Amino acid sequence: MPGDAAQTSVHRTEPLDDSDIRTFLIADVRGYTRFTQERGDEAAGALAGQFADLARGVVADHDGHVLEFRGDEALCVFRSARRALRAAVGLQVRFRAPAGDGSTFPLGIGIGLAAGEAVPIEGGFRGASLNLAARLCALAKPGEILASETVVGLAGQLDGVRIVPRRSVRLKGIDRPVRLLEIASETPLPPLPEPHARRRRIDRRWLVLGAIGAFAVLAGLLTLGLTRATADRGLSALTPNSLGVVDPSDGRITSEIALEARPSAVAEGDGSLWVANAADSTVTRIDPSTRASTTIPVGPGPTALTFYEGAVWVANNQGRTVSRVDAATNKVVQEITVGNGPRAIAGGAGRVWVANGVDGTVSSIDPQSGNTTKPITVGADPSGLAVLGGSLWVASEATGTVVRLNPSGDIVEPVAVGNAPSAIATDGEGLWVANAQDATVSRINPSRGSVTDVVREERIPGHLPSGKARCGWRTSTTAL
């Protein structure tokens, strides 16, 4: 497994020199174990051989060395961080591109990169950078490249390569939170291979974003009149780039709507569904009764949105902006500059609030004029916002806390929740916080200022229902 790479001696093709800074790249085939179970050992062996051949060629083309293949995993080293990053993008391109016979590699690849001094030993290397590369690889989803800040700092600006700030996480064996940086190609890549259809257990009252497996928002969607064309049998799984509805009584996916791009967030307002599409910097408005849709260009990298005061407010993670979309005209009427890496947004208490993940601040926007006030410092990695009882509640992934801001912007009290809280929502009475690393959800009683319930999930929660709807958790709740 990627997480164990640092404990393994790997074959080295370079001379011993403990003064060199090296960049380690680890690539792993996602879904290899299931592929083996479904296809058998011979097919899995052939796939591992194909993986090795393709990876070896791309790494060599970028002056890198393959240290070791372990079935579905390749451990590689580079003397240049720039070449390592280009190799990572090249690997994603190569594993998605059709071969001469038109066939493509059937599974997605996750890649992690880290750089630093590694201790050369007989037969390989050991060191923190190799360990970090393994941890980042383990976090990378199919088609993703995650790199450490050191790699990006050494490489500098690269033409054709985009750096996308992500949340900080706590990793096993590393004391301090690690900032994730996603490496993306400016040129659109071939699509990922279609996943094998299989029945999945779906949490009740969740709207499902099929392309990224995110479970998000709108328990009240079931009341909006979306046609349940397949209610008699249900769907075994959602198709990629789609929006689906789950029946809260039995967890079935009852219907779905095809989308044109990868969805990154969804909200409800003015009788419509609004879906942010990060890949093509648009928002799609969907009429749930007719399924008619309108696509609206917004700022770069929309990752969060909310409906407030007759408009959709879109946080553009890659553009330091919020796009204000007028629901009456379906047009962006204002682009508002906020902080670096806006990643969460909420409306309430007469303001629109934006969490700036890179800066550790919250921006406040007047919904009438679009004017902003001086950003409020809230601590590292604000990851979610909710307004309840006239106060703003801010989740922080780095500290594992939720802080409460009073109307004047002063922090009243921090509340300890789980590890890496990634989202927060309110049901009108309490607050629910998704703790991504723990696969738990904490409920905060605002009057007591403490956690009163913890829900343990079968999967890592990434999004929560928005609006005043109770969360329909499937698993048991432990009262505290």
Work out the burial of residue 163: count CB atoms within 10 Å of its CB; fewer than 13 is exposed, 13-18 middle, 19 or more buried.
Answer: middle
The pLDDT tens digits along the chain (480 residues) read 444 443 333 444 444 455 578 999 999 998 888 888 888 888 989 999 999 999 999 999 999 999 888 878 999 999 999 999 999 999 999 999 888 888 889 999 999 999 998 777 665 677 788 889 988 998 888 899 999 999 999 999 899 898 988 877 777 777 778 888 999 988 888 888 765 434 333 233 333 333 223 333 333 333 333 333 333 445 556 666 777 766 655 556 677 777 776 788 888 899 999 999 887 889 999 988 888 889 999 999 899 999 999 999 999 988 899 999 999 999 999 999 999 989 999 999 899 999 998 889 999 999 999 999 999 999 888 999 999 988 999 998 888 899 998 777 778 778 999 888 888 988 888 898 988 777 788 899 988 888 988 877 544 445 554 433 333 332 223 333
Distance CA 475, CA 204 (A): 10
| Count of other CB atoms within 10 angstroms of residue 49 | 11
> Which pLDDT score is estimated for 226?
36
Strand ranges for 122-231 from DSSP E: 124-126, 145-147, 161-169, 178-185, 207-209, 214-216
Where along the chain do its domains lie?
2-185, 207-479
Distance CA 307, CA 292 (A): 19
Q: What is the pLDDT of residue 234?
A: 53
Which pTM value belongs to this model? 0.55
Q: Dihedral through CA 57, CA 59, CA 64, CA 68, nearest 10? A: -90
Instruction: Count H helices and E strands in the chain, helices first.
Output: 5, 34
What number of other Cβ atoms are within 10 A of residue 340's Cβ? 13
> For position 240, what pLDDT does the model report?
66
- Nearest Cα residue to 393 out of 411, 379, 371, 419: 411
CATH number of 2-185: 3.30.70.1230
Q: Give the DSSP H/E element, type plus range, for residue 401.
A: strand 401-405
Cα four-point dihedral sign 391, 395, 399, 400: positive
Q: Which residues pair with residue 451 across a beta bridge?
A: 444
Q: Across the strands, what pairs with 272?
A: 269
Per-residue pLDDT at 225: 34
Q: Hey, what CATH topology would domain 207-479 get?
A: Methylamine Dehydrogenase; Chain H (2.130.10)
Where is 25: in which H helix or E strand?
strand 22-29
φ/ψ bin of 22: left (φ > 0), alpha (ψ from -120 to 50), beta (otherwise): beta
Which pLDDT score, from 0 to 100, does residue 238 have?
Answer: 62
Region of 426 (left: φ > 0; alpha: ψ -120 to 50; beta: rest) is beta
**41-61 vs 81-96: helix crossing angle, rounded to 10:** 140
